[in-house]
Amino acid sequence: MTRVLYDLCGIDEGLRFSPFCWRVRYALAHKGLEVQTRPWRFNDTEALAFADHDKVPVLVDGEEVITDSYEILRYLDRAYPEAPLLGEGLAEARGRFFKHYAERVIAPAMLRTIIMDLLNAIHPDDRAYFRETREKRFGRTLEEFHSPAKGLAQLDAALEPLRAQLADSDFLDGDAPAGADYLVFGNFMWARCVSSADLVSNADPVHGWLERMLDQHDGLGRRALRVTDIEGAYR
Amino acid sequence: MTRVLYDLCGIDEGLRFSPFCWRVRYALAHKGLEVQTRPWRFNDTEALAFADHDKVPVLVDGEEVITDSYEILRYLDRAYPEAPLLGEGLAEARGRFFKHYAERVIAPAMLRTIIMDLLNAIHPDDRAYFRETREKRFGRTLEEFHSPAKGLAQLDAALEPLRAQLADSDFLDGDAPAGADYLVFGNFMWARCVSSADLVSNADPVHGWLERMLDQHDGLGRRALRVTDIEGAYR
């Protein structure tokens, strides 16, 4: 059986930056499951028609086709119960909060800082689509939305509860990382792959956590191709 | 055996507004445990000497003396394992995040809106202590810190992940409230008891959650004395 993950790529097929796909890459590694990733671009709608879906991640696991990063984590817990990612009951309900915290608080703050880097990292054929959909969502141009000073201040405030959590334990989920860590860390991989912006100071407890997360699963995150690794690609 | 909770009071002995004490009141009710509350004021340091502590809540449960609201919730789970508040493992680690989120994100946003109401609700003999400690913490006068417009905007942004969570389920912890709900709701009881400020619009999913929380445990929160109930006390 080949397990396949459709994974967003940018100007280079090896440049993978979707925060949602990174959640799933870490979740699969957490379960010790091999996966073949298949590069996908925003405009490859035909390639996902089989899943009746238009976004990645899409995971094909034998006969199963699962879409949406959070649903994929839930699926993995059902299909491979060892080493829970989200767990059940109170653990699962609270795990879900990290998804919302990552998407509604962390991501918007980061995006104001990295949006022009992100545009640059996207494949040229996908940029018009990206610009159009995001400008509609923000109600202004990407250039108007772009504001690193505001974004970094917003991120600094948004990280307060993470800092407090990391004063108690090495990972959000305790002594070892699990679903909550992956849900939030996906956003940091997104920023790392497309930008060289320093989002967090070296003295911040969040910095130590990021370093530990990059080392997890044989350096899965640290080994990832960044736009800064591609000659002439980082402007 | 009498179970006793030392509980902060204000201008009236019946006015109980500490967010940390409210967490514990709800936690005890969640476990179905009776408690006698004992009114305590900021300057009653002698009264807590037996606990080697200078703040409430302090819970005396038979031979046990437990300080700090989060530690009291953990203690209750150990001593009375039925109906977990925080739970264990991933559930507990994630529960802790709600404490930090409540204290580092929700509370500061609320405080900018209600601080002058809060000062007014505190016993006159405690106001100098309150003003001095808080002005030192904020680095400015209470009057300078007071900014309802900023506070409400900050709160509105801070509630984003709560709103998303409450689109999925009636309570933060799922179909019924538990530790995560109480950790955050304590702050809303704090504001409710000292102020008539509308912190959340009626159309906000958070509003519906607040109404449900007020109804829990035979209307424990809804029955609480508010400063607006005390003639001449609300300015």
Share the mean pLDDT of chain B: 97
Distance of alpha carbon A74 from alpha carbon A59, whole angstroms? 12
Portion 161-200 of B in contact with A at CB < 8 A = 161, 164-165, 168-169, 172-174, 178-180
> With contacts defined as CB-CB under 8 Å, which chain A residues touch B97?
94, 97-98, 161, 165, 172, 180
Residue B235 binned pLDDT confidence (cut-offs 50, 70, 90): confident
SS3 A6: strand
Task: Identify the CA nearest to B113 among candidates B62, B85, B151.
Answer: B151
Q: Return the H-helix or E-strand segment holding B65.
A: strand B64-67
Q: Tell whether A100 lies on the interface with B, counting CB pairs under 8 A.
A: yes
Q: What is the arithmetic mean of pLDDT over A19-46?
A: 97
A163-206, pLDDT tens digit by residue? 999 999 999 999 999 999 999 999 999 999 999 999 999 999 99
Q: Chain B: nearest CA to A97, how far in angstroms?
A: 6
Residue A15 has pLDDT above 90, yes or no: yes
Buried b (16+ CB within 10 A) or exposed e, B209-223: bbeebbebbeebbee
Q: What is the arithmetic mean of pLDDT over B110-125?
A: 97
Which of B91, B103, B104 comes nearest A89 by C-beta? B91
**Cβ of B164 and A98 within 8 Å?**
no
DSSP label at residue A105:
I
A73-104, pLDDT tens digit by residue? 999 999 999 999 999 999 999 999 999 999 99
Q: Which residue of A has its CA nearest to B163?
A: A100
Residue A1 has pLDDT above 70, yes or no: no
Q: Take residue A119 and report the two structure tokens written for it.
A: 């545009």
CB atoms within 10 A of CB A17: 26
Task: Identify the CA nearest to B142 among candidates B153, B156, B160, B128.
Answer: B128
Which of B95, B100, B160 comes nearest A94 by C-beta? B95
Domains assigned to chain B = 3-79 (3.40.30.10), 89-219 (1.20.1050.10)
Q: Chain A: nearest CA to B28, how far in angstroms?
A: 18
Q: What is the pLDDT of residue B1?
A: 67
Q: Take residue A204 and report the two structure tokens written for it.
A: 């911040």
